[in-house]
Amino acid sequence: MTQTYDLIVRNGEVANHAGRGKADVGVIDGKIAFIGDLSHASAGEVFDAAGLTVLPGVIDTQVHFREPGLEWKEDLETGSRAAALGGVTAVFEMPNTEPSTTDPDALADKLARARDRMWTDHAFYIGGTHDNARFLSELERLPGCCGVKVFMGASTGTLLVADDDGVREVLSNVRRRATFHSEDEYRLVERRPLARPGDWTSHPEVRDPESAIMSTRRLVRLARETGARIHVLHVTTAEEIEFLADHKDVATVEVTPQHLTLDGDEAYERLKGLAQMNPPIRNNYHIAGLWRGVEQGVADVLGSDHAPHTLEEKARPYPASPSGMPGVQTLVPVMLTHVANGRLTLDRFIDLTSHGANRVFGIAGKGRMAEGYDADLTIVDLKARHVLKHEDMATRSGWTPFDGFEATGKAVATIVRGRVVMKDGELIGAAHGRPVRFQETLA
């Protein structure tokens, strides 16, 4: 008897761990049931992917969707809307909301807010603090938690853990891989007087490369001392890449599209506050170092660090302007442009956006296009030429640092657990995102 599928993605070029080639993808009950020739099979729904490339669903493991407490910048619905429109099928959201996500009630509140409002699947970080460090081994095991996030610099209040003793206590209590914003707070405080009012070109001087390198060296030393695994977010310096290459047994590495693409020598003059983020956009020397990290396999994942602020907030004169920029909707087209230009292979793009997340975070049933895995697919047109524009951004902030960027490649469909949630730039149906599960915390 011929098998009937819920969905067949037909006639596309499939790109996964087996290579690239013409194949169909059959879906039953939200899972991939078969990859191969399904020309004679029937399905309740057929997606014609002729001329398109079918990728494992893109996972963005660093977003700030600002809810609760900062919804004028973004919320879980608008942020995930931008993600789905950009081809992203799952997101991991950060704890620096108001209140911070540092206890079971705050995590449960986010999960409740996300249900039937988020277009993508999702998980949330628990913020590691001095106050909750001894409880982290329990907190990191809660359903819907992707792990512990620690700010060694760039944050305020209880989420800032700047001292070695505090970081050591966090690392001594976590059992999963802990995630870090690695800048040395003590050096940042010393260098604040270097900020030139109204001059964003001073931002990478205040938060200089040494601020990042010092912190990352400290972090690796403490990880080895405690026997912990760490994940270093948004690495920005050539020296960190070189250093972390010698410590891959304990440390995994994230890079971002903006740090790989925007050149600080011109971006601050052109974009002013829109170029401001932490750690900073840096110059071509460091961009080249990051690309070496991509090419040599030091970088494990690509995250957007989507962190929106309103245009009004960004227009404040430096250093009163806040740091952070949107990115979840532009991750795919910006990086596919690097693919089109020969800077990045499609295989490496897939590794950085799905397989890497699967490995680093131990995701259960996601991050690969294979039978038995969730049917999360990002379908792209690798040849589509288009210009990224502020007005096309679904994020509540309504802008992008890549306004005017001439892109080659775009997501034309986003499929989450066998459900087509975006097609041709339009969202379809209702939001049905669900929590991501992890191998280390399966019940």
The residues annotated with a catalytic role in the active site are 305
CB 407 within 8 A of CB 333: yes
Extract long-range pairs of 248-251: CB within 8 Å, 24+ residues apart.
248/298, 250/220, 250/223, 250/224, 251/219, 251/220, 251/223
Nearest CA to 351 out of 364, 340, 335, 337 is that of: 335
Rounded-to-10 torsion of CA 67, 68, 70, 72: 70
Q: Report whether 368 contacts 376 (CB < 8 A).
A: no
Three-state SS at 249: coil
Phi, psi of 133 (to 5 degrees): -55, -40
List the beta strands (DSSP E) in 318-438.
377-387, 406-416, 419-423, 426-427
In this structure, the dihedral spanned by the alpha carbons of residues 381, 423, 28 and 144, taken in order and rounded to 10 degrees, is: 100
Q: Which residues contact 317 (CB under 8 A, 6 or more apart)?
A: 197, 198
Distance between CA atoms of residues 125 and 106, nearest Å? 11
